[in-house]
Amino acid sequence: MDKVYAPHEIERRIYERWESNGWFAPSGKGTGYSIAIPPPNVTGTLHMGHAFQHTLMDMLTRYHRMRGDDTLWQPGTDHAGIATQMVVERQLNAQGIKRTDLTREDFVERVWKWKAQSGGTINGQMRRLGDSVDWSRDRFTMDEGLSKAVVETFVRLHEEGLIYRGKRLVNWDPVLLTALSDLEVESEEEEGSLWHLRYPLEDGSGHLVVATTRPETMLGDTAVAVNPEDERYIKLIGGKLRLPLTDRLIPIIADTYVDPAFGSGAVKITPAHDFNDYEIGQRHELPMINVFTPRAAMNENVPTRFQGLDRFEARKQVVRELDEAGLLERIDKHKLMVPRGDRTNSVLEPYLTDQWYVKIAPLAEPAIKAVEDGRTRFVPENYSKIYFEWMRNIKDWCVSRQLWWGHRIPAWYDEQGGVFVGRDELEVRAKFEIPASTKLTQDTDVLDTWFSSALWPYSTLGWPEKTSELARFYPTSVLVTGFDIIFFWVARMMMFGLRFMGDVPFRDVYITGLIRDELGDKMSKSKGNVIDPLDIVDGIDIEALVAKRTSGLMQPQMAATIEKNTRKQYPTGMAPHGTDALRFTFAALASPSRDIRFDLARVAGYRNFCNKLWNAARFVSMTVGETAPAPGPTELSVADRWIRSRFSRMLEQFENALREYRFDFAATALYEFTWYEFCDWYLELTKPVMQSETSSEAAKHGTRQTLAEMLEALQRALHPLMPFITEEIWQLAAPLAGRKGETVMLQPFPASGEYPRDADAEREIEWIRSFILGVRQIRSGMDIAPSKKLAVLLSGTLAATETGSDTFAATGGVSASDRARIEKHRPYLERLGGLESITPLVAGASAPQSATALIGELTILVPMAGLIDADAEIERLTKKIEKTRLDRDKIAKKLANENFVKNAPPEVVAQDRERIAEFERTLASLEAQLARVRSLKGDQ
RNA sequence: AGUCGCGUAGCUCAGUGGUAGAGCACCUCCUUGACAUGGAGGUGGUCGGUGGUUCGAUCCCACUCGCGACUACCA
């Protein structure tokens, strides 16, 4: 084995072996456990957020697989309608081709080609991350089976009256030329203006001032509304206004929607271009005048001179003409929320079109109830509030998109505009008895991407067929995802799953935080702070990193800033850390309901941990040899018993943590056990046994066996989190421990109960640790070289009258139990403390000038002759005394409060009394020692 | 405007009604045969502020300051 763990060498080889052996597939035995992957965009790449979520999913998957569950992690990708179409359009544009230059079929063909070309990226990344998904079941939302599920769902919902087509206002993207759902709208506060316009009264007796943020829409006004209570305008209600720039007369209506305190208290009503106005229009049966083309230029319904103008040009011209006509009262600065498309960032228009909608209330109700009843549980729990909040105010879902890439809506039209929904044209003709002579054309729209995503947990398992997989793996066990798609995805899976499967799609929903950069900013390409998870794994030099971050920017002018920041943050690029270190970092940082500021130093720490584990394995193999210890008489040392006991406790902690999705606790339990107990103490404690000529063969045998057993079992415990290094070490450790098997990933997860708890061993080792710690503190405090062997003396608190004078003379008042311990553990104490001897201070002999440590009743004296600086010892003691006094006083104060003594639970009071006594003893001893050192110093 | 979070060591974060924790950073010492990606020891915090409940509050409650996220129709 190499001295330093080199992840790169082994990770690919190991994954290849796992995959080619088909070990990721469900075993077909045991309880079903399943996770459906949140399908990433097929043409995208995985970012840190994916890597984070995948780590948690893989950890759960590997753990349950090892527990013997029939475990499926279902992989797949999403066609991501708008996002993918935009990418391909951009590529075409770069070649000077417009999408509309191609036929729909040609364009879709190109998208499929792009998918084939780029679609492997994600799967490649997942393999590097160690994701143990069942590749044989890989799915794509546009593949045949899933498309069938989409059509089936649409048709059934339509049959049940839960899908309808209607002409309404939708959020229209004038760049993409498609409708969007409410969720795809991102409103941002922007600086704008509030224009106060004068609308002349019909009789010429004056004018009414209306305030608007969108003057260009005035060409489509069909009324002006005031509040019915508004004294100023009450007499005008029912009258008419002459709409400037047009020849139309529009009514003044009363509606309580109008807030008299805002603007002028009079609102122009444009039912075809504003959601509120639309509703007012419905209430008052106002005509709707659409003044925009789909690209948001002015259409034929406005005066000729405005026709064809872009909306923002039209705005300027409208304002100018009104101003010239003396109809512009004033312009106020005004902040307003501007709706923008989440993909194009273009300003959206409320626009009147025919679209397909899912009637959502009947679907939402059971989905709310399922969470209320705890059939699906959010972790952390407070996300259920966000879910409820949205579900209770949910509006119908516009599912049609005017795109080319996606699932075509299964609806056909005849030439009279009749609409027929069915699974295909044949079915439609049969069902509605439409003769072959009648021409039918299919709806040209596609469905919202999230429509197919909503079916994911069961469509991937073969629905609408009744498959054995559905029976076995639905509902899935847990969904791991980010809060940002609770509405987009989680809620919709709940609604559809309950409707079509009659049960929730997942038992638990674990919501992860967001991975942010080291400054707490969201990672995004445009900010140039994105980290590719594989760059952390493999490392990347600074030039390559800068190139990566500054290429293909939407705003190339940002490149210089991005380069500067990148060079500052990563002067030498990133070192390779390996997948296991990255995974460990994600788990350790996965505290509930908290975003993660990603810190590369943390990964380096866990890379060191990998190296530590690696070297522990080296040590074990050097100590044990290359084969399992031959059978023979075996004696387990106190350390051997102790490490098993501690391992048992750690496993319990780990499993409890994982049950509650506390990946951070689970990781910490593994880390602390491995480093602080197994490496720091157990391996050290084996040395006195193994490297001594006096220890028995049986004892050596027991230690060898324990070393092999623990190393092997530890790999299994660590495997779900660190799959690669544990596989590599396990291959070496398994034979030593006499365990057979081809791979650690299919071995049973170690059970806490297999390793006996041993309270006695834990007590003994605790005592040994404090003894050694005491010596080390003196050594360090007194600046004694580690290589210098010390001869320590002991004294106890027993008096001659208690022990008999002879015994006292020989033992220095050290209690029998301490003496027994010292004898029993002498090799440990001498070796780990760097001691040459441990002898009781002979009674009567005056104690030499020493530094001391207290272990309960036992005092360890390190003679100072030639070693120790008395001043340093005085300083050390003074410091210790001060600290002990503070601790004592704090408790003394508490105990002095009679209410505390009266009201606190007796065990708390008793415990404090005990502690104070302990502090008093320590203090007395420290003070005596201080006095001694002082007086001896005086003698010098 | 409403809803939900967050404020603990220099930094990033755990945590508990009863002795404040980790990683990184920092200081001192150490190339001792697993590991310098290491070992040993150490420094460092009136737990955002004020008030209340309690024998006791970093934790529970109220108010307050600061930060963030989400939702929403103010023309």
pLDDT (tens digit per residue) in A427-449: 999 999 999 899 999 999 999 99
* Mean pLDDT for the stretch of residues A876-891: 83
- CA A601 to C1' B12, whole Å: 10
Helix A600-624 to helix A723-736 angle (10° resolution) is 10
User: Mean pLDDT highest for which of A215-219, A854-858, A868-872?
Assistant: A215-219
- A801 vs A728, higher pLDDT: A728
Q: Name the nucleotide with the smallest C1'–CA separation from A919.
A: B19
Lowest mean pLDDT among A196-200, A286-290, A420-424, A593-597: A593-597
DSSP notation for A367-421: HHHHHHTTSSEEESTTHHHHHHHHHHT---EE-EE--SSSPBP-EEE-TT--EEE
Q: Give residue A411's pLDDT.
A: 96
Taking the CA atoms of A318, A323, A326 and A332 in sequence, report the sign of the dihedral they define: positive
Separation between the CA of A11 and the C1’ of B33 (whole angstroms): 30
Mean pLDDT of A237-253: 89
Positive or negative: CA dihedral A371, A374, A376, A379: positive
Query: So what's the pLDDT on residue A844?
Result: 62
Question: What is each CA distance from A39 to A180, A208, A270, in whole angstroms?
Answer: 21, 55, 41
The string of pLDDT tens digits covering residues A291-328 is 999 999 999 999 999 999 999 999 999 999 999 989 89
pLDDT at site A886? 83
Nearest nt to A388, CA vs C1'? B3
Query: Tell me, what's the pLDDT at A939?
Result: 54
Q: Which nucleotide is nearest to A601 (CA to C1')?
A: B24
Burial of residue A22 (number of CB atoms within 10 Å: 0-12, 13-18, 19+)? exposed
Residue type, A14: I
Distance A454 CA to B48 C1' (A): 43
Q: Give the list of residues 6+ apart from residue A59 with CB closer than 8 angstroms, or none.
A: A583, A587, A658, A663, A666, A720, A721
Exposed/middle/buried for A856, CB within 10 Å: 0-12, 13-18, 19+?
middle
| Strand B nucleotides, any atom under 7 Å to a protein CB | 3-6, 11-15, 18-19, 22-25, 28-42, 54-56, 69-75
A785, exposed or middle or buried, with CB in 10 Å at 0-12, 13-18, 19+? exposed
Separation of alpha carbons A493 and A904, rounded Å: 51
Confidence of residue A344 (pLDDT cuts 50, 70, 90): confident
Choice between A627 and A561, residue whose per-residue pLDDT is larger: A561
Strands (E) across A264-327 are located at 266-269
pLDDT digits (tens, 9 = 90+) for A163-191: 999 988 999 999 889 999 888 888 888 88
**Encoded amino acid at A193, one letter:** S
User: What digits encode the pLDDT tens for the residues A459-477?
Assistant: 999 999 999 999 999 999 9
Question: Does the pLDDT value for residue A160 go beyond 90?
Answer: yes
pLDDT at A868: 63
Of all nucleotides in the shown strands, which has a C1' nearest the CA of A183? B71
Decide: A831 and A776 in contact? Cβ < 8 Å: no
CA distances from A498 to A14, A464, A492, A494, A505 (A): 40, 14, 10, 6, 7
The average confidence (pLDDT) of chain A is 90
The residue-averaged pLDDT of A744-771 equals 94
- Does residue A748 have a pLDDT over 60? yes
Q: Is the pLDDT of residue A632 over 60?
A: yes
Q: What is the pLDDT of residue A1?
A: 81
CA nearest A728: which of A52, A198, A15? A15
Residue bearing the bigger pLDDT, A156 or A927:
A156
Q: How far apart are CA A452 and CA A449, in angstroms?
A: 6
User: Strand, coil or helix: what is A311?
Assistant: helix
Q: Answer whether residue A796 shows pLDDT above 90.
A: no
Specify the nucleotide whose C1' lies closest to residue A902 (CA): B55
Distance (Å) from CA A618 to C1' B37?
A: 15
Structure tokens given for A37: 């992957």
**Chain centroid to CA A321: how far?**
55
Averaged pLDDT for residues A592-619: 90
Closest C1' nucleotide to A609's CA: B37
Between CA A424 and CA A446 the distance in angstroms is 15
Helix (H/G/I), strand (E/B), else coil: A795: strand
Phi, psi angle pair for A798, to nearest 5°: -70, 145
Question: What integer pLDDT is reported at residue A410 of this predicted model?
Answer: 96
Tell me the average pLDDT across A73-78. 96
Which of A50-54, A81-85, A799-803, A875-879 bottoms out in mean pLDDT, i.e. has the lowest? A799-803
Backbone angles phi, psi at A404, to 5 degrees: -105, -20
Of A59-68, A222-231, A816-825, highest mean pLDDT: A59-68
- Minimum-distance residue to B19 (CA–C1'): A887
Q: What is the pTM of this model?
A: 0.92
3-state class of A68 per DSSP?
Answer: coil
Burial (CB count within 10 angstroms: exposed 0-12, middle 13-18, buried 19+), residue A567: middle
% pLDDT > 70, chain A: 98
**A71 pLDDT exceeds 70?**
yes
Section A235-258 average pLDDT: 89
B37 C1' closest Cα residue: A608
Q: Which of A849, A846, A851 has the alpha carbon at shortest distance from A812?
A: A846
Q: How confident is the model at residue A938 (pLDDT cuts 50, 70, 90)?
A: low
Interatomic distance A512 CA / B72 C1' (Å): 25
Distance in Å, residue A727 CA to nucleotide B11 C1': 35
Torsion of the alpha carbons at A464, A469, A473 and A479, rounded to the nearest 10:
-60
Buried b vs exposed e over A682-696: b needs ≥16 C-beta within 10 Å?
Answer: bbebbbbbbeeeebe
The number of CA neighbours under 13 Å toward the Cβ of A686 is 26
What pLDDT score was predicted for residue A783?
A: 80
A558 by Cβ neighbours in 10 Å (0-12 / 13-18 / 19+) ranks as middle
Angle at A584 (CA atoms; ends A36, A706), nearest 5 degrees: 110
Q: What is the mean pLDDT of residues A605-625?
A: 93
Give the pLDDT mean for A243-268.
88
pLDDT of residue A805: 67
Residues above pLDDT 90, as percent of chain A: 56
pLDDT digits (tens, 9 = 90+) for A640-666: 999 999 999 999 999 999 999 999 999
Give the per-residue pLDDT at A640.
Answer: 95
Residue A202: predicted pLDDT: 87
CB contact at 8 A, A408 and A443: yes
Average pLDDT over residues A122-142: 95
Highest mean predicted confidence (pLDDT) among A729-743, A863-877, A911-925: A729-743
Predicted confidence (pLDDT) per residue in A363-412, tens digit: 999 999 999 999 999 988 888 888 888 898 888 999 999 999 999 999 99
